[in-house]
Amino acid sequence: MKFGLVDSIIELTRGERIVAVKAVSLAEEYLADHFPTFPVLPGVLMLEALTETAAWLVRDALDFTPSVVLLRQAKNVTYKSFVKPGNLLRMEVTCRHLEKDASEFSGVGFCRDEEVVKARFSLTHFSVKEGSGGVESPVDQRLVADARAKFAILYGPAAERQNLVSR
């Protein structure tokens, strides 16, 4: 199963800060098992939502040159409350350090104005290269094109972003 945990990017300061949201719906398959009588967004997916949010900041800041952005390390992760179906999880992520192949962030997830998750984490990013010459591969080109297209949807017109937040 492939799914994204960022539904919309509502604020972006290139290379510095990003705010995104995830609308949690009862229709999401993983909620059937976590927990059957008390469905909540699993904590690991809250961390993944922060990670995905930071990955969009990296892609934008580095003009989509890394085709792959992965979590390298998570520290000081704290969970303070549950996120239930019908809730909107707002992820606020601040870049602490950004280089070509690695980055560090601090992130906080909110449900309404209540902090539900907080973490410091680092990402690693790279491109898929072919052969010893380091030529960009067709896979890399497709990953970058797909990421650009998805970013255009997630970070749509300002009016659409404001409508999502004001609901």
Q: Which of 17, 23, 28, 34 is catalytic?
A: 34
Does 108 map to a domain?
A: yes
Q: 109 falls in which pLDDT band (50, 70, 90)?
A: very high
Using the predicted structure, report yes or no on whether residue 159 has a pLDDT greater than 50: no
Does 14 map to a domain?
A: yes
- How many other C-beta atoms can be found within 10 angstroms of the C-beta atom of residue 51? 24
Active site residue 34: yes
Q: What pLDDT does residue 25 have? A: 93
pLDDT tens by residue, 127-148? 987 665 667 788 899 999 999 9
Does 139 map to a domain?
A: yes
pTM for this predicted structure? 0.91
CATH number for the domain harbouring residue 137: 3.10.129.10
Does 166 map to a domain?
A: no
Distance CA 88, CA 84 (A): 9
Total count of domains within the chain: 1
Q: What pLDDT does residue 167 have? A: 47
Using the predicted structure, report yes or no on whether residue 112 has a pLDDT greater than 70: yes
Does 167 map to a domain?
A: no
| Of residues 79, 109, 83, the one with CA closest to residue 28 | 83
pLDDT tens by residue, 74-93? 999 999 999 999 999 999 99
What is the mean pLDDT of the segment spanning 97-110?
A: 98
Tell me the residue range of the domain where 56 lies. Answer: 8-159
